[in-house]
Amino acid sequence: MTKVYVGMSGGVDSSLTAALLVEQGYDVTGVYMKNWTQDMPGMRCPWADDLADAKRVAVQLGIDFKVFDFENEYKQKVVNYMIDEYRDGRTPNPDIMCNQEVKFKLFLETALEDGADMIATGHYARVVSSSWAAGSLSGHTLQGTAGTPVAFGSPSATSPANKPAARLKLAADTNKDQTYFLYRVTGEALSKTLFPLGDFTKPEVREMATKRGLYTASKKDSQGICFVGKIGIREFLSQYVEQKPGLVIDKNTGKTLGQHDGAIFYTLGQRHGLDVGGGLPYYVVGKDMNKNEVYVTTDLNDGALWKTDIRLGNTHWINDAPSPGMYQIRVRHRAKLVQAELSFEESNVRLKLANTERAVTSGQSVVIYDGDICLGGGIVI
Amino acid sequence: MNNDLIYLDHAAATPMDGRVFAAMEPYFSHDFYNPSSPYAPAVEARRRYEEAKHSLAKNIGAKADEIVITAGATESINLAFSAVTGHVVTANIEHHAVLSAAAGHDNTIVSADQHGLVPADVIKVAIRPETELVSVALANNELGTIQPIREIAQVIKHERQTRLISGNQTPIYFHTDASQGIGQIDCNVARLGVDMLTINAGKIYGPKQVGLLWAASHVKLVPQIVGGGQERGLRSGTENVAGTVGFAKALDLASEHRKYESDRLQKLRDKLQADLIAAFPEAVVSGHPKHRLAGHLHISFPKIDAERMVFSLEARGVLVATGSACAANKGTRSHVLMAIGLSDELADGSLRLTLGHLSTDENTLKASQIIIEEIKREFDRTSR
């Protein structure tokens, strides 16, 4: 019997994931990953309820349950990364980092060492089996779903041969699809991963969980970045970086409009939280981290807000690097897929968009698709 | 409570007695007045409040002007520790409220024995010439072990005499948190020989967040909550008339039924313990074999994950606690179980079963059958 370790967070998605795998005949073990949370002296730890919910469901399903303590690694790889990126004036995405470093690396490795054959999570995404992927790896030309023939296995491919690899496919529920957060995992990791929820919509998941009497069936979905919790990103960051007041300057007139309490707290396109009152709303169109200045405009059509040309560094491909050509891209989670022409500039990727995209900012991830297959992506330079 | 449920966690919370609720009810609505107001109905509320305090005081053999009504036992304990600034002595099995309060002072934390008992001579050794407070709970909330409060009181009395002779003018007080024991043990302060006593209503079928601190007249308390000067300035805030009236009624009922209820619960507990040990001879009962609260059973099953049992028993309608509710919430092992030297394996397999008003012969028997079935099922599952 295939032994599967399911990451159980105490939410409805991962609860149903475990239930479905039990029904499908897998030998299932539930695992709660203890990630880093801020130490609040004397306070009841915030994750205790989630851990209890996960365990309660595991008991209900009659499966083994373990706790993997990833606090240190999570702090180093995810939390510190996020703080550093903000400090450098960028807008990072910790969920992507968490998937890359913790869930589909550390958790996978730890589970395999512990005797698992595969892992599973409650992500809304699909894995296309390795036989399909292996065919593509050998350089065959496949029919892309968008109708254009796309050649895989370009000369820049870096995956070593003979390694098992699977492809990442959009979830059936396009509204919930989470492939944006998964673009930095490896094809090899995916070949050992199950996403049992990928074929279902969220309402279907709730319904199936309710039908099975799962304790978490009606539990509210968690929001935002887990370790930041209820306090919000701004307050969280202000505990790690010094708040330094700086000037808010009108980009067009050069006039000082007011003060802000640290350029790192602002991101491109942001409208709220600027201490400049009256008249038309101002949008952030740039910042200078050295001068600690934030530049704003009331012009909704300002060039800085809209991009048709995006350059990506630090690219990652789930399988092989794609050949230059037309693809679909997504600039943020749940954003519409839009057409873009991909080309390579040394180690970077350049994307020319058919239409403009708003507020594409440094540090943010852009994910590249070929039809319903997620190829990978990179980080906006 | 849902009648299909069997509640075995009376040490965590107790359902309010209908008579207590009836006594409190008027003060939420009809007689809602602020006891400090001058008009007649408010004066009447004040009178009922004072009457309730007198009744509470009488039940513990004290005077009404020596008690301070607090929002529960934790506040009462914090107020007790306000009486001193110097060295304090307490034990490693005490409740977090006491240990946290002690952490704010120079302190000595003595070790309980393997039954969770704090022997008087251990306290005696820990007392220094500058020690100002000793705090030991009447009964431990996890194990049910009843402490030798009178013997410890003798040690403190002796220390006081020694100080008198040697000219050491540092006062030394003895505080006990009796919240866990008051339902089953007479808490006359003179007989216990303490200087301060904490009790609360929530553990004796009264309202939660209502407690008191009794302090002998020679103890100088420092208010922790300041404001309008209620409770002789020791605890500001509009008096909780309903809560205090309910507390008085609950303590009255507890005193009245103490003997009968202790005997009844002890028989039930002994039967439950015997049944579980018969089914699982390898199980370990913790707490003092003799000096233990009547309705209290702390039992550990080797190779069993007690947290899983809480959930599988909950699914069968039986509500139990693992080791300690507080410790379980913090995701760490109970400090009490570590203190008495219970192995990690046994600590992780510990259930705390506490009987009370809701326990009957029938439902306790049924509960023991369900517990046995569920533990066997878990053994079967893990040995597959």
Model pLDDT for residues A192-244, shown as the tens digit of each residue = 999 999 999 999 999 999 999 999 999 888 766 667 666 677 788 888 888 88
Exposure letters A29-54 (e unless 16+ CB within 10 A, then b): bbbbbbbbbeeeeeeeeebeebbbbb
In a domain, A381, yes or no: no
Residue A311 and residue A292 in contact, taking contact as beta carbons nearer than 8 Å: no
Q: What is the pLDDT of residues B352-375, one digit of tens each?
A: 999 999 999 999 999 999 999 999
Domain C-terminal end among A253, A268, A297:
A297
Q: Pick the catalytic residue: B43, B64, B326, B328?
A: B326
Task: Please tell me what DSSP assigns to residue B139.
Answer: B
Hey, what amino acid is at B77?
I
Using a CB-CB cut-off of 8 Å, the residues of chain B touching A46 are none
What CATH number did the domain enclosing A123 receive?
3.40.50.620
Of the partner residues B100, B330, B381, the one whose CB lies closest to the CB of residue A48: B330
Q: How many CB atoms lie within 10 A of CB A373?
A: 26
What's the complex ipTM? 0.87
Could you tell me if A218 and A292 lie in one domain?
no
Could you tell me if A76 and A122 lie in one domain?
yes
Instruction: Test A48 with B307 for CB contact under 8 angstroms.
Output: no
Q: Pick the catalytic residue: A8, A96, A108, A226?
A: A226
As for how many domains chain A has, the answer is 2
Could you tell me if A38 and A105 lie in one domain?
yes
In a domain, A218, yes or no: yes
In a domain, A44, yes or no: yes
Q: Classify A249 as helix, strand or coil.
A: strand
**A226 catalytic, yes or no?**
yes
Is pLDDT of B324 > 50?
no
Is pLDDT of A46 > 80?
no
Could you tell me if A275 and A180 lie in one domain?
no
Report pLDDT for A272: 65
Of the partner residues B307, B329, B330, the one whose CB lies closest to the CB of residue A55: B307
Report pLDDT for B307: 92
What CATH number did the domain enclosing A285 receive?
2.30.30.280
Report pLDDT for B179: 96
Q: What are the residues of chain A with a beta carbon less than 8 Å away from any beta carbon of chain B?
A: 42, 44-45, 47-48, 51-52, 55-56, 58-60, 62, 65
Task: Please tell me what DSSP assigns to residue B37.
Answer: S
Can you give the residue range of the structural domain that contains A89?
A: 3-129+166-229
Tell whether B18 lies on the interface with A, counting CB pairs under 8 A: no
User: Mean pLDDT in chain A?
Assistant: 86
| Half-sphere CA count of A104, side-chain side, radius 13 A | 26
Helix axes A202-211, A12-23, angle to 10 degrees: 60
Tell whether B307 lies on the interface with A, counting CB pairs under 8 A: yes
Closest CA of chain A from B301, distance in Å: 17
In a domain, A307, yes or no: no
Q: Distance between CA atoms of B63 and A133, rounded to whole angstroms?
A: 84
Domain C-terminal end among A269, A297, A325:
A297
Domains of chain B with bracketed CATH = 6-15+258-382 (3.90.1150.10), 18-254 (3.40.640.10)
Report pLDDT for A150: 39
| Half-sphere CA count of B74, side-chain side, radius 13 A | 7
In a domain, A65, yes or no: yes
In a domain, A317, yes or no: no
Domain C-terminal end among A174, A197, A229:
A229
Instruction: State the residue for tokens 């809560």.
Output: B243
